[in-house]
Amino acid sequence: MHAQALELLCSLGQSSSLMSNFSGTEETVEYLQFLAEFSECAPLVLDYSKWVLSVDPDHGLKIFTHSHLNGHSASCDALPPQRVLSHLKETADTECCIAYLESLILVRLLS
Asked if the structure places residue 81 within a domain, the reply is yes
pTM score, whole prediction:
0.84
Domain count, the chain: 1
Contact 25, 52 (CB under 8 A): yes
Asked if the structure places residue 66 within a domain, the reply is yes
Residue 19 Rama label (left phi>0; alpha psi -120 to 50; beta): beta
pLDDT value at position 103?
92
Contact 3, 44 (CB under 8 A): yes
- Is residue 16 very low, low, confident or very high in pLDDT (cuts 50, 70, 90)? low
Asked if the structure places residue 6 within a domain, the reply is no
Q: What percent of the chain has pLDDT over 90?
A: 61
pLDDT tens-digit series, residues 83-103:
999 999 999 999 999 999 999
Asked if the structure places residue 4 within a domain, the reply is no
Asked if the structure places residue 32 within a domain, the reply is yes
If we measure between CA atoms, which residue out of 13, 72, 86, 79 comes closest to residue 43? Answer: 79
Asked if the structure places residue 60 within a domain, the reply is yes
Within a 10 A sphere around the Cβ of 97, how many other Cβ atoms?
A: 18
Domain of residue 100 covers: 24-110
